[in-house]
Structures are given as C-alpha cells and as structure tokens.
Amino acid sequence: MKIAGSLAALAIGITLVLPQSAEAATSAACTWRANTLPIPTGATRVGVYTTDHNGGWAGAASFGTNNFHVVAWKNGTITDYGQIGNSATVTVSILDENRAGTVIGYTRQGFTGQIAPGFRIRAGQLEQLPVLLGGFSPMPAAINDSGDIYGTNSVQRNGEWGSVVVRWPGDRPTAVEEVPGLPFKAKVVDADEDGTLLVSPSGAIFEATHVFRAGQLTALPLPQPYEFLNAKKISNGRVTGYAARGSDPSVGVVWERDLTPHILPNAQSGQYINRDGLILGYSPDATLIWGVWRNRTLEFAFGAAHDDAFVGTVSDDGTFGGSFRGNPTFWRCS
C-alpha cells in the first residue's frame, strides 16, 4: 500500500539523482531498467503513484491549471478516467490501488487547500466515499484486496471537531463505519492486508508512530539512540520509515513482523515496502538519492546525474514506479 502521490510534487519539479540512461547495475547481477508508459494526449506531466501488483499502474496527469485526470495502465493499454474535481481543484492525490484495480484518492480545492470528498474508481466508475452521519471530509488512506478502504472522517465530539478512523467495507460500498479502539483525533497512514493499521494517535498527518493490530495499539519501538520516528508504509507485517534525534540527519528503519527495528544502511528514510521486504528509500548522500534495499542491504542506487524524477510506489512483483523527466515510468530488474 502506498502513501499519497500528488501532482503538486510534479508541479514544483522535484529533482532527484538518476544516471543519464535511467538505469544502473545492481549488486544482484541484474540491471534496473526504466520503462516509459504512454501519456494521454494533451497531458503535460504524468506520474505513477500506485500499482495493482500485477503489471498494472495508476497515477495522475496534468492537463493545465486545475485540470487533473486519473489514468491507469494495464497490458499495454492506457485508460483516462477524465477530469477529477472541478475548476477549483488545485491538486489530485492518488493514494492506493488493490489487485482488482480499484484506485482511491482525494482532491484539494481553493487557495486554502481544503480536502474535497475522497473517491474511489471501481470497475471504471468514479464514486464519492460516504461520510459518517454529521461528519465531513472523508479522506481515504489505503485499500486492501477485499476492497476495504481505511481512512478518516472529521466529526464533532463534545463540542470539538477532530478526526476518527473509519473503514469503508468493500462488500458494502455505500457504508462507512468507525474503527473501534482508537482515540479521538487519530489518523491512519497505511493499512496491511490483515487489517493492521499504521496510525498517528495524536492526529499528526502522515506521521505514524503506532501499529493497531487485533484491537491493540502498540508504539513502534525506537532504535537506540534515536528520539522520534515516523513510519511510512506497512506490508506483510513489516514497517518502514525513519528515526531521528535532535538536528542530526534521520536514518532509514525497517521494523520486522515482531516490530524489532533495524537501521537501513546509508538510508535517510524508507518510503515504500512490498510484501517481500523490498524497500524503496532515499539517502542524504548526494551520490545516492533513491535506492533499493533487499534484506536490509542496499542493492541498487540511482547515479549522480541530476534529472527530474521521483519514485511513487513499489509492487509486490519487484518493480517500482514513478516519473522520469515528466513521463510515467516503471523500473524492472532484469
């Protein structure tokens, strides 16, 4: 599962480090090769943010100011789902996709960046996510292969507004229900296939510090001597993110299924992880911006040429996707 991929990132032109050929040899006797996906006619910038873990990808395309489309690629075919949002939409965030190809996301609108209702695209149809009675701002975070979506709603409790963690059941598409056992104002960042959640009990956006598994909220242990952490992704029981202390640079971390933390060598943060523990992350080293860690060992690093690129997702089939020079791209090791 993935964290948010927003065309806002494309719009500001994130510059990362890649070799000129967009490929480099790995220590595993294979070569990571960039493969460009087709672009919708008229689109100016396109990025990959999610995958169905079986050769399919989804992302967003910019067609000019406040005009964003969700697009998907499968078996050599591109599908353009049309404009998402309206003339007030300033960004579209594509968050996750399951193996059935259901895509979830949300838009931000207006100068204040308020979040419009979250959506899913299921069987080619755009659907707005329902909201709890008296609530607003349904914001999805992750979807599993059963179609269950986890996220948050804003509600009022004892005269105070805040978030509650909710589930949109895959077998009841018009329903929404609060997930019991989590504190008021908690936010969910990611979800595993078994329903384990990465959450921020305090409500900090995109800053998970706990796992919620089988009704139990457990703090992720800090590796010593670090003082705080931020978990980004969970897959097959493993978690990746970073830890830091004071003003020192952060370090990438992977927590195994028993939540034992391990430092990723030469990593500033683990950003994405697949079910086999393949991690995409980045480093503060100017010669290593994005890298691939397998079995907690750095296997591959992009080179030292400064090109417009980013990584947006990693697939359970061992590929990863993103954007290279404004074009939707995935990388395969062969």
Is residue 8 over pLDDT 80? no
Averaged pLDDT for residues 132-146: 93
pLDDT in tens, 12-70: 232 233 333 334 434 455 788 889 999 999 998 899 999 999 999 999 999 988 889 99
Residue 102 bridge partners (DSSP)? none
Q: What is the pTM of this model?
A: 0.89
**Beta-strand pair 210-213/216-219:** antiparallel
pLDDT band of residue 153 (cuts 50, 70, 90) is: very high
AA letter at 6: S
Instruction: Count how many residues are written for the chain.
Output: 334
DSSP letter (8 states) at residue 208: B
Per-residue pLDDT tens over the stretch 156-169: 999 999 999 999 99
CA distance 97 to 75: 16
Domains of the chain: 5-333 (2.130.10.10)
Q: Is the peptide bond before 225 cis (omega within 30 degrees of 0)?
A: yes
- Structure token digits, residue 99: 């193996």
DSSP collapsed to 3 states, 291-316: EEEECCEEEEECCCEEEEEEEEEECC
* Structural contact between residues 143 and 50, judged by C-beta atoms closer than 8 angstroms: no
Other beta carbons less than 10 A from residue 224's beta carbon: 9
